[in-house]
Structure 1
């Protein structure tokens, strides 16, 4: 994902009611808590209030502010999986033509992954954006593992396609295939009940 740049650090407004807002460990813990609440749902009024604040922040300032909390999370955590989904979605929105081109190139080399990804054939920019949005919406569904599997399949195909093109850095294709592997591992951990 050569065009992707990490968003800037969120402002202190996000953390104003979270103790230790200047402590990186507290920010990391807050990121994991928010990620789990978004995927697993809130079970008490305090958690529901936090979810509402997070969703309001996402609407007003963008998901990047929240996603920054997840950027250093291990791949096989809910926060780490959400970071990878966010990075993939951001890249597709910034480069839909490139994403469609790389997907179209890679699907011949990964037909099983193509079926799992679920992109309409032929995959144009709009179809690729629709797929990524559908996958991201899946984080709020009970089938989070399926959303991760679909994102992994998409990333794998695009990474393989990128590796086949002469005008793209092959190392970036390998990194995307590695992201696909991480998303697949997160999906497996979710099915085992080990994704936290």
Structure 2
């Protein structure tokens, strides 16, 4: 039975933007949209707790490869594109909860916006709290207000991005240019993802997220 499952795949932080797979873009995009709508619509119509939990934990058992095949090449401003980014954020958080919680806590300390509150992590934010936040955001995809789940994910990205930028400044000051460059790049990816998820939330509220 275990041979039927994919081993969870380790993803580096540069996987926010793309994942190359498949041979027929038109077919992949059609399947991406069909599966995303079917999944979200069916589960949200009947959000049984055990089904929601299995979907939240899907990548823990199967890895993220199958989801990448379905959704990673979709437009970032589409339903499959939004689902891909939320699942990928959870995978990245679970791969490095300590590092991610450090970024989030620093971002919460330096930001003057309401994003830390919108994201909704417990304070202070350690590895356990950041894992809980990732799970709670993904649960919100399948129950409650879908746009709120997208907004929470976007706020998480803005906070973590602010934290990465702040720590990058510290690295510059301590003569660690490679570390600063890596963190600056990560901050930019977080900011890009935040903008994409915010756009998806707006489209969902208008009934236009395809």
TM-score by length of 1: 0.79
Cα contact 2:157–2:193 (8 A) shared by 1: yes
Cα contact 2:19–2:73 (8 A) shared by 1: no
Counterpart position of 2:203 = 189
Structure 1 residue 121 displacement after superposition: 0.3
Residue deviations 1:7-30 (CA, integer Å, cap 9, x gap): 7858xxxxxxxxxxx633112211
Structure 1: unaligned runs, 5 residues or longer? 11-21, 43-54
Matched, 1:116 2:122: no
Structure 1 residue 111 displacement after superposition: 4.0
TM-score by length of 2: 0.74
Cα contact 1:117–1:150 (8 A) shared by 2: yes
Q: How does 1:57-72 map to 2 (within 5 A)?
A: 58=58, 61-72=62-73
Q: How does 1:8-157 map to 2 (within 5 A)?
A: 9=21, 23-41=24-42, 58=58, 61-107=62-108, 108-157=110-159
Cα contact 1:39–1:144 (8 A) shared by 2: no
Residue deviations 1:86-120 (CA, integer Å, cap 9, x gap): 12111101110110000011112144000100000
CA distance in 2, matches of 1:61, 1:134: 20
Structure 2: unaligned runs, 5 residues or longer? 1-10, 44-54, 172-178
Say how many residue pairs are matched: 174
CA distance in 1, matches of 2:163, 2:80: 27
